[in-house]
Chain A
Amino acid sequence: DTEVTQTPKHLVMGMTNKKSLKCEQHMGHRAMYWYKQKAKKPPELMFVYSYEKLSINESVPSRFSPECPNSSLLNLHLHALQPEDSALYLCASSQEYTRGPNYEQYFGPGTRLTVT
């Protein structure tokens, strides 16, 4: 199974709401990633977890809060977002991170987030 699943598929939230995005993989991968992708742009890396520890935070605003409860799950908690945070949020996983750089990243289908 080479699938990365993400829920929900679509999310509409107000600027005062709190919501969470969920990502799951069962490939035994030890690295998981969150990306943000605006329309017609490449994905931008937000966070990387390696062995359930946060390895990379690409200066993401604190209104985005990642969590890795176990090696298969990755959450992204959202609070007090701005309309400019509307985007496709992609999760990915790979076998390793630190021992990279040649490990394939497997991407989920994404969550389309709209902030109103």
Chain B
Amino acid sequence: AQSVTQLGSHVSVSEGALVLLRCNYSSSVPPYLFWYVQYPNQGLQLLLKYTTGATLVKGINGFEAEFKKSETSFHLTKPSAHMSDAAEYFCAVSYTGGGNKLTFGTGTQLKVEL
């Protein structure tokens, strides 16, 4: 069975500081990995995804993530936080043979302080 663990349900950073949101996955087959962002009272928006190929994935809004198979991780980073980055972030996994079904992590609430 596939699963996703997001360490830290709440993360707080200062504006301009590095953002690091952690995601570890468990999968018996090669995973496909996604990061979604959800702003208050809105749906989810895809930030980036890893399918195959390059392990460093760049997404929208200056975010990127690196797939590390040896660490079963897909952490999300952004060099400099902006107030507008405050939102809920979900890591998700899918896999070949599972259709397009996503298994979500429990989410990380990012707070950006002045």
* Chain A contact residues, CB within 8 Å of chain B: 4, 31, 40-43, 45, 48, 50, 55-56, 90, 92, 94, 96-110, 112
Contacts and interface: CB of A to CB of B under 8 A. Distances in A.
Contacts, number: 73
A45 to B, nearest CB: 7
Contacts of A103: 100
A40 B101 contact: no
Interface string B21-50: 000000000001010100001111110010
Interface residues of B, number: 25
B45 A102 contact: no
B44 A107 contact: yes
Contact of B100 (A90, A94, A109, A110): A94
Leading 4 A-B pairs by shortest Cβ distance: A100-B100, A107-B43, A101-B94, A42-B104
